[in-house]
Amino acid sequence: MQADVVVLGAGMIGVSTALQLQRRGRQVALIDRRAPGEETSFGNAGLIQREAVEPYPFPHDSRMIFKVMRKGGIDVNYHPLALPTLASPLAQYWWWSSPSRYARVAREYSRLIEHCLIEHESLIRESDTEVLVRRTGWRTAFRTPAAMAQGLAYAERLEQEYGVEHAVVDGAELGRLEPGLNHPMAGAVHWTQPWSVRDPGALVAGYAELFRRQGGHFASADATTLSRQANGWRVITREGVIDAEQAVIALGPWSDTLTRRLGYRLPLFVKRGYHRHYAMKQPLSMAMLDAENGIMLAPMNRGLRITTGAEFARLDARATPLQSGRAEVAARQILDLGEAVETSPWLGARPCTSDMKPIIGPAPKHPGLWFHFGHAHQGFTLGPASGRLLAEMICGERPYIDPAPYAATRF
């Protein structure tokens, strides 16, 4: 088969890239070893986070660092044996998280986030996946007045600096809005702009089906079969060979494996995460973050999905769902949870860069090869907006935002 572009990876980033290229008249082949939306994009809180204008920095507070070191919270865990290989990217992550550098990172990061809703909107409409989407926002809930005061100050700053909208919900009102809460809360910040999705994997699959209906080709293949040819790139699939003039690496946490084979040493690492679904007699009306514990409680078609924070480990290390167990205990303190739906928690990995910004643009040493990965916690949110930027670059159009902050050459 001959294509204009072959996109490696069928998560939200890869599928969105394929659709944006297809919109511009390109013949696209989409490649993955599994069906679309069954890897990293499957296991998130299902939020399209317009408010997420600032990425998660490495803590510079000594108390927080000590808490992480002693594994004193739910939000962060780590494998000690993985630390030697993670030392360099994590050191750079800490360096980029200093206040002066982080301010610049956040400004550049926010320029992509501000377009997330409008770019998802057209794909949701065209793919007939509106039934999965709720446009009611989500809440950050606080157990104590002190935490509530800090959260409100943060929300007010985001509104002043970025135009992010929010509403304040006091404890009594939150109890009325969420009768399933069995513990009094200090209140919540309601982020009113974001959307929630009741089955993230199904949304990606819906986008992929739109791609196929419009003439796109999906094939099962090992992305590591990618090889450079005289006139472009070749991938060997189960159906045969696909040749294309250009190739996009959008493999999420597996991007590092392929880019290293091609001679690149990018500061990439993964943050692993877990989720598990629970039955509930009184479902939450919208997703809610238990702020003091760093766990997201998201209503899904399968039940209440409880997601964890970050686990620093090797990508292929055995599952250690310590955080998931602690998250369940914390959730049961405020909610009447039923039984777990799955026998064990789901495990996935978020692809991260040391400066918290995705890598979007041409591969420096290989003409016709493009990088599109490193979106960390916001790949689900950013797929269509990020895919548009890369498609414009590939097709020689004027990019709708400056792509320089996301170039691989910054490293």
What is the pLDDT, as a whole number, of residue 331? 97
What is the pLDDT, as a whole number, of residue 74? 83
Range of the domain at 242: 2-44+201-266+355-410
CB 220 within 8 A of CB 33: yes
What is the pLDDT, as a whole number, of residue 207? 98
CB 93 within 8 A of CB 354: yes
What is the pLDDT, as a whole number, of residue 56? 94
The backbone torsions φ and ψ at residue 377, rounded to the nearest 5 degrees and listed phi first, read -75, -10
How many residues are present in the chain?
Answer: 411
Same domain, 302 and 222: no
10-residue averages of pLDDT along the chain (411 residues): 97 98 98 95 96 93 70 84 92 95 97 98 98 98 98 98 98 97 96 98 98 97 94 94 97 97 96 96 96 96 95 94 94 96 96 98 97 97 98 98 98 94
67: domain CATH number?
3.30.9.10
Question: Among 331, 353, 375, where does a domain finish?
Answer: 353
Is position 79 within any domain?
yes
Same domain, 345 and 213: no
Domain count, the chain: 2
Is position 178 within any domain?
yes
Read off the tokens for 81. 């044996």
What is the pLDDT, as a whole number, of residue 65? 65
Enter the pTM of the model. Answer: 0.96
Same domain, 278 and 328: yes
Same domain, 69 and 31: no
Same domain, 66 and 140: yes
Give the DSSP H/E element, type plus range, for residue 244: strand 241-249
What is the pLDDT, as a whole number, of residue 63? 74
Is position 113 within any domain?
no
The dihedral over CA atoms of 132, 138, 141, 146, expressed in degrees to the nearest 10, equals 160
Find the radius of gyration of the CA atoms of the chain. 21
211: domain CATH number?
3.50.50.60
Same domain, 26 and 171: no
CB 30 within 8 A of CB 211: yes
Is position 21 within any domain?
yes
Same domain, 393 and 321: no
Same domain, 163 and 275: yes
